[in-house]
Amino acid sequence: MAARSISSLVSRSLPSLSRYGRGIYRYGTTSAQEPIKPPVTVEYDKLLINGQFVDAASGKTFPTLDPRSGEVIAHVAEGDTEDINRAVAAARKAFDEGPWPKMTAYERCRIMLRFADLVEKHNDEIAALETWDNGKVYEQSAHIEIPMLVRLFRYYAGWADKIHGLTIRADGPYNVQSLHEPIGVAGQIIPWNFPLVMFAWKVGPALACGNTIVLKTAEQTPLSALLVSKLFLEAGLPDGVLNVVSGFGPSAGAALCSHVDVDKLAFTGSTATGKIVLELAAKSNLKPVTLELGGKSPFIVCEDADVDKAVEVAHFALFFNQGQCCCAGSRTFVHEKVYDEFVAKAKERAMKRSVGDPFKTGMEQGPQIDAEQFNKILKYIKYGKECGATLETGGDRFGTKGYYIQPTVFSNVQDDMPIAKDEIFGPVQTVLKFKDNEEVIRRANNSPYGLAAGIFTQDLDTANTLTRALRVGTVWVNCFDTFDAAIPFGGYKMSGIGREKGEYSLKNYLQVKAVVTSLKNPAWL
């Protein structure tokens, strides 16, 4: 379902737009217009601890901002160490004494399915809040991401009563079995670029396995997780099973990572922060950690590719979600025989991209998340110009209000340029030229990251050769960003540890126990 929705977004036809001067288009609408009033209000701005929405212990709050204008949406409770302690205590009690891990797996399944039904019922409200707080296009929130959350929870609900161990033959008179047990209290930290999708990736498997959770939201996007967590309570989730703390990384995040009563950590975010999470986990109680981190994914367009289709998919691979995607195809390698044609058409496609208020119908691109990310992207665009890459289009802010950036394309990019090495996390496409498969394999793998890759070719042998040679966790062939609940996702090298989604993710939240019982005069072995 999710994969089909994303594909429909890629293939959606857009109205033609007028050109103004060399490399300049009227990008859809102007961000200088007054932002559209969102069709939703903020109802939940406190911490969720032990089934109750409560103020932070300190009484502090912090503002969450509308990326379209930089104006305050709401003031949200600012959790810190004391609040993490309260949340962990609630989760520990719910695990050790509460009904959730002792409940039949079928009943856990039913609660998760009821939750998915409630999210589906409130789809438009949740999508509007997600767009308001994050800046992503409303059509993306409503028609892709919230349905994806629903699908993921239904998928994991189905797993709840299918988790089991083995009966094992031993060399001797013993009955041996393995038990797959819930790991305990899971600490989870989600990012700001896909708040609810990441909520599902982490909360879904943890609950299916019978664990309890303390979830820290990103300080940029705290609102939607609080809303859907309220729906979980309505679905019958016992108090203390899911606790949600909004706050900042150095305070609430560090406290969660360091807490000795947390049995497992899962984090999605930057590689630099991932290293800190891993260090804090090791220094406290050696809790296991799952990390989904940064990327600089190659998108390889081979000489036999259908250039028009390759341009469209490469455009989507980079610009989707304002370029704020860890697996974005941010190094576009194009074979020298089709390079010039590809660059010309990639430029044309970027210039037609509709940019503006994400609540306006037909928009493809909204604002970046905040001023910090906005300025970082503009800094990298400046680096690209200074290093000698050719700016084909874009290269500046869009409009005068909010954190909008023009869709930007650079050609004649070299591997040693910052725009080709670093994770920009914005709408900046870099197009590099290559001669043959051996060269592009070497260059594509010459990165500290290994999250994903795209290959565009009509030749099966070429696809197989590249697929096996690329040191990445996901390879998309003639497609990109195809996410399904059952497909595992994670990275090689500094792009992370472990896998999320699919059956593989269940292992993150289970302990394996061997039970050996002596047999007296067994009839058989």
Structure tokens at 168: 């094992």
Burial class (CB in 10 A: 0-12, 13-18, 19+), 400: exposed
CA dihedral 326, 351, 36, 135 (to 10 degrees): 10
Structure tokens at 92: 């520990």
Q: Which is catalytic among the residues 78, 292, 303, 364? A: 292
Say what the pLDDT of residue 44 is. Answer: 98
Nearest to 146 by CA among 62, 53, 227: 227
Query: Do 130 and 141 contact (CB within 8 A), yes or no?
Result: yes
Residue whose tokens read 């062939």: 477
CA dist., res. 156 & res. 211, Å (int)? 13
Residues facing residue 335 across a β-bridge? 434
Query: Do 56 and 48 contact (CB within 8 A), yes or no?
Result: no
CA dist., res. 238 & res. 94, Å (int)? 8
Query: Do 265 and 241 contact (CB within 8 A), yes or no?
Result: no
Structure tokens at 191: 């990012």
Residues ≥6 apart with Cβ < 8 Å to 123: 142, 146, 147, 150
Structure tokens at 366: 């909204």
Say what the pLDDT of residue 7 is. Answer: 45
CA dist., res. 243 & res. 345, Å (int)? 48
Packed helices 307-319 and 2-11: angle between N→C axes, nearest 10 degrees: 120
Packed helices 123-134 and 146-159: angle between N→C axes, nearest 10 degrees: 120
Beta strands in 315-401 (DSSP E): 331-335, 390-393
Query: What ranges in 65-214 are assigned the alpha helix state H?
Result: 81-96, 105-121, 123-134, 138-140, 146-159, 195-208
For the residues of 410-453, what is the DSSP string, one character each? EES--TTSHHHHS---SSEEEEEEE-SHHHHHHHHH-SSEESEE
- Phi/psi for 474 (5° steps) reads -140, 135
Structure tokens at 72: 């305050």
Structure tokens at 173: 């008179």
Three-point CA angle 83, 87, 91, nearest 5°: 170
Say what the pLDDT of residue 13 is. Answer: 33
Say what the pLDDT of residue 33 is. Answer: 73
SS3 241: coil
Query: Do 108 and 242 contact (CB within 8 A), yes or no?
Result: no
CA dist., res. 451 & res. 65, Å (int)? 30
* 107 flagged as catalytic: no
Residues facing residue 276 across a β-bridge? none
Residue whose tokens read 């590689």: 271
Q: Could you read off the pLDDT tens digit of each residue along the chain, which spans 525 residues?
A: 344 445 444 444 333 323 223 333 345 544 457 899 999 999 999 999 999 999 999 999 999 999 999 999 999 999 999 999 999 999 999 999 999 999 999 999 999 999 999 999 999 999 999 999 999 999 999 999 999 999 999 999 999 999 999 999 999 999 999 999 999 999 999 999 999 999 999 999 999 999 999 999 999 999 999 999 999 999 999 999 999 999 999 999 999 999 999 999 999 999 999 999 999 999 999 999 999 999 999 999 999 999 999 999 999 999 999 999 999 999 999 999 999 999 999 999 999 999 999 999 999 999 999 999 999 999 999 999 999 999 999 999 999 999 999 999 999 999 999 999 999 999 999 999 999 999 999 999 999 999 999 999 999 999 999 999 999 999 999 999 999 999 999 999 999 999 999 999 999 999 999 999 999 999 999
Query: Do 489 and 499 contact (CB within 8 A), yes or no?
Result: yes
**Residue 301 host element (H or E):** strand 298-301
